[in-house]
Every structure is written in structure tokens, then in C-alpha cells.
Amino acid sequence: MGLLIKRTTAVTLNDQHAVLEDIDIRLDGTRIRELGRNLPAHPGDETIDGSSLVALPAFFNAHCHAPMTFERGWAEDLPLDRWFNERIWVAESALTEEDVYWGAALAACEMIRSGCAGFNDHYFYMDRVAEVVEASGMKATLTWCQFGIGEDKEVGTNLEGALAFASRWRGRANGRIRTVLGPHSPYVCPPAFLKEIAQLAKQHGFGLHIHLAESSQQVVNSLKAHDRTPTELLNDCGVFDVPCVVAHALYLDDRDVEILAKRQVSVAHCPITYMKLAMGVNDLTRLQTAGINIGIGTDGPGSNNDMDMKEAVRITPLLQKFHFNNPEALPGDIPLRLACAGSSRALGFAESGSLEVGKSADIALFDFSGPHLQPCHDLVANLVHVAKGADVRHLIVDGKLIMRDRVILTLDEEKIKSEAGRRAKAMVSKNLRVVREYQG
């Protein structure tokens, strides 16, 4: 029993940049089995009328902290140091496991609604996020964030616990859940800890997911303390000896770029956070030219403030064009490719990212009937610059409909909204305390 999408327009994002019109897509199990005209329905197949829809490979969110929906609107108009020290880490001192579940569930609803099949999550109490992933039908690469500055500074578990989490959930939910290890950053984690966690990752066959070079001050401090840039430090600590995703990487010199390219590190680019916290911009064309894999992420809702991947896809080329005074930067379907193939590869779901026979059946179907999507001189431009997350009508992950006609089939959205709203208010009403300090 499969799914048959009839008479749709498919933006395949294949190597030929093919856009197929009036095409049927047959899904069987977790894969795309056939693309063609007038495909017959097999007995038991569910059919979707795709005639006013555009099929796109579903997005993957390359870096986020999903449960931080609880901190949406809680840390406004602040620079990074005050954002951490006065608001974010303070609120998280009152975080409970149950909060993580409802916060992640709320984020999952938002991501599903904007056509996102999977996300790369870096947070605490990750068993609860894994439960959300399992129930929602989404895919995710999950890590329990570790600071490495003393067990009393960790949230919920120590390194041993983070490793146990990663082992416990590896490959669960029919392979929809992947796990990695997640040291917070080179500016929080001491080098000895970075070496230890990198060694553990290597030994147990896990990748790593870490923040990198978010401010010029972090680079100055690293050079002063370690005589190395943050990128060189991670390289020397063995962090890039396993598949690694670095979030942000805004401040890189030529040698850093060379290291990231050579070690095949993926960069997760989260432009809305950079704009909102005035952190700076990285030159994606420079990274692409060096051959670095780039994915697009929303980052956490404490800094974005939403989880709409479609918006992040639009902002990505706009920021590059504006900042580098170059209207030709990141042209055509590149932003879509970064958010689909680039992100899914970063997460380890490399079989996603294009609509081709044999690929994962992870598909977002956009409703193109709205006035903002007319006329359609350039379908890809309309997808990148006009379509909204809310235009996604159906979302299919691993061959299963998880949203049909804008109704999420796998999660109780009404309950999640009310429970998350109530709990987020209660969390910040508790006795909040300072748990650790950001010092650049």
C-alpha cells in the first residue's frame, strides 16, 4: 500500500535542475519508486490530487534547539553575552524534563507546518525530544548538549549519560532517529573535554554537533588562551575526526576555511539569528567555492524567533545579496538545495534532498493557488522568495503523510499549544538562578 501523487509539478532539485509538470509520483514504503505520466493506482494506494500543488523535497533544519520554543520572546533586543547571561541560561535553570517534551512538540508542529521533515537538535533531556520525533513521524539527529565544565554545570546528565542517550536512541523509529554527541562550543568547553568527547565519538561511531566562531571576540579570546582560532582548536582536539556539524562559523580565516573543507565539516547557517542578535554574516559563496557542505537552520526560537524553515530559506539569499552588495549571490535554486540536500546531508540523512527514484519519500506539497504565487514566470523564484511555510498543504516523511490538508495527523496540536503555553509561563515564574556565565 503506497501513496500516489497525481498530476503535480515537481521541483526535483536533481543534478539537471529538472522541473517536471503534470507528473505523477509513486511512493512505496519509505522511498520514491516512480516518477511518470498517468501512473495507475495500485490496489490500496492512497491518491493525492497534486494538480494545484508544487512538490519539493522536504526541508531539513540543520541546527536548532527545538524545546527553546519556551523562550520565544523571552530574550529580546540583546547582544549575545547578555542574551545568554541575563535571560536564556537563567530561564533554563528552571527547565524540567516535561517542559522539554512540550517545547519540542510545539516546535515539531511549527516545523511540520513549514514543510520540514527533519531537524538537528542540540539540547537537554533529549529522551523527551526523541519521544516527540518518534510520535510525530519526523526525522531528527539528536544530541544531549554537554558543557564540560563540571558536572554541576550540566543540565540533566553528564557525559556518560549523554553517551548512553546516544546509544539508546541510535537508529530508533525505523531509522528516523540518529544520534550524535554535542559539546556546546569551544568557548565553553575546555580543550581536554573536547578531546575526551571527540575520542568517545570516534570510539563509539558517533558524529558531533557543536557551535563555532559566533563572534570576533570568541576568535580573539581563543587566540589569546590557546594560540589558535576556534576552528584550529577543534581540529587539534580531534573534533573533526568524525562527521561534524558546526553551527554558525561566522568568523573564519582562510586557514579555517581550508580546515573545514579538508575535514568535510558541514556548516549550519542560521541567518535570522545572525540578523536579530547582530552577530555578523558568513560568506556562503566563499564556503561553497571551497567545497564545504552548507545546511540552513532556524536556530532556537530564543533567537529566531520562529521555526519556519521556509522563512530561513528566503532570508538566506537576501542577507548574502544585501551584505555583500551582490544581487547575483546565491542565485536560483541554491537556497532550496542548501535547505534540502545540504541540510539532510549534514544530519546524516543523505538519501533525502531530491525527488528522484530510490530517494527517501520526504516531500512537501505547496499549495500554489494563492494570489501571492501568481503569476508564475519563475517557479523556483516563487518558491524561494514568495511561498510561505503556511502554503504547505501536505507533508510526507518516509512515505507517510504526517500532515494532510494542513491537519497534523501524528500530534495533538491543540493540546500541545495549550500545554506548552501554560508551562512556558510557569517556567519563567519560578525562582530563576544563574547557572553558568558566558564570557565570549
Residue ranges in contact with Zn ion by CB under 5 A: 247
Task: Provide the minimum distance between the beta carbon of 188 and Zn ion in the complex, in angstroms, as a whole number.
Answer: 12
Single out the residue of 31, 106, 45 nearest to residue 415, CA to CA.
106
247 or 315: CB nearest Zn ion: 247
**Strands of 329-368, DSSP E:** 363-367
Q: Are 296 and 269 in contact (CB under 8 A)?
A: yes
The radius of gyration of the chain's CA atoms, rounded to the nearest angstrom, is 21
Nearer to Zn ion, 80 or 252 (CB): 80
- Shortest distance (Å) from residue 57 CB to Zn ion: 24
| Dist. CA 365–CA 293, nearest whole Å | 25
Q: How far is the CB of 65 from Zn ion (least distance, A)?
A: 6
Report in angstroms how near the CB of residue 122 gets to Zn ion at its nearest.
6
C-alpha cell at 377: 514566470
Q: Give residue number: closest CB to Zn ion.
A: 247
Our CB check for Zn ion shows the closer of 247 and 408 to be 247
Taking the complex as a whole, how short is the minimal distance between the CB of residue 431 and Zn ion, in angstroms?
26
Please state the closest distance from residue 282 (CB atom) to Zn ion, in A. Answer: 15
